[in-house]
Amino acid sequence: MSTSELQALLALQDLDSRIDQERHRQAHLPQRTELEELARSVAERRASRDAVALTLAEVGARQEAAERELKATEDRVRHVNARLYGGTVTASRELQAMAGDVEGLRKRVSELEDRVLGLLDEREPMDASLAELDKILDELAARRAEAESSLEVAEAEIGSIIAGLEVQRPALAGPVPADLLAKYERLRARLGGVAVARLVGGRCDGCHLSLPAVELDRIRHDVPGTMEYCDQCGRILVMPGPA
């Protein structure tokens, strides 16, 4: 290797690290967390809403049944009254029996009216909580739409930054010999994306450990352009050269 090839590799590593950072930033945008939280909230509220709606439907069914019976009983009262006062029935015993029927039916009407009112009272808080939950769900849907479009914008922004960096890659990879490039990619895959580290102040800036004095001394006396590796992390070590 020549010193300039190693410097080219270092420049390539710097570029790839920046691309990796942008990809990481893109994958961990705060909008994603926000959307996950919103999805959880929506699921919770929907479950609550379903439970309330189910109870409400049961009460509603009981109310309808009571109203149906109420209407039928009122019809019956009208019918018996019509016969009672229609003049077609004259037998006093029969008239007395009909009057008794009307009295019984009126009592039932009153009971049914009370039942309907009771059920309406029972519904009231449920109707209110259903309306409240619908309002919250609407707000959550609005926040979700907002977070989604904000995520889209942020993703596109970072996407164009990445595209701008990737355009520079061939020019930086070009001067690096093919076998060195292959080794670089292998190390990158194994070492969290960082295959090349700088040797700065006796330390490897890949693993941040100081090299033993003997090792440092050996590297200093090697022919420039020699491939050096960090013993602790296995990365290619490059002296930061003149820019």
Separation CA 160–CA 8 (nearest Å)? 24
Separation CA 6–CA 8 (nearest Å)? 5
Q: In sequence order, which residues have a C-beta less than 8 Å from that of residue 47 and are 6 or more positions away?
A: none
Residue closer to Zn ion (CB basis): 80 or 196: 196
We find the least distance from the C-beta atom of residue 236 to Zn ion, in angstroms, to be 10
Helix, strand counts (H, E) of the chain = 5, 4
Separation CA 47–CA 93 (nearest Å)? 61
The window from 28-36, 55-63, 111-119, 229-237 that contacts Zn ion (CB under 5 A) reads 229-237
Enumerate the β-bridge partners of residue 228.
Answer: 237
Backbone angles phi, psi at 207, to 5 degrees: -115, -5
Q: Which of 188, 206, 228, 236 binds Zn ion (CB under 5 A)?
A: 206
Residue closer to Zn ion (CB basis): 125 or 202: 202
- Asked if 204 interacts with Zn ion (CB under 5 A), we say yes
Q: Which of 56, 207, 216, 227 binds Zn ion (CB under 5 A)?
A: 207
Residue list 55-114, contact with Zn ion (CB under 5 A):
none
How many residues bind Zn ion (CB under 5 A)? The answer is: 6
Residue numbers of the site for Zn ion (CB under 5 A)?
204, 206-207, 230, 232-233
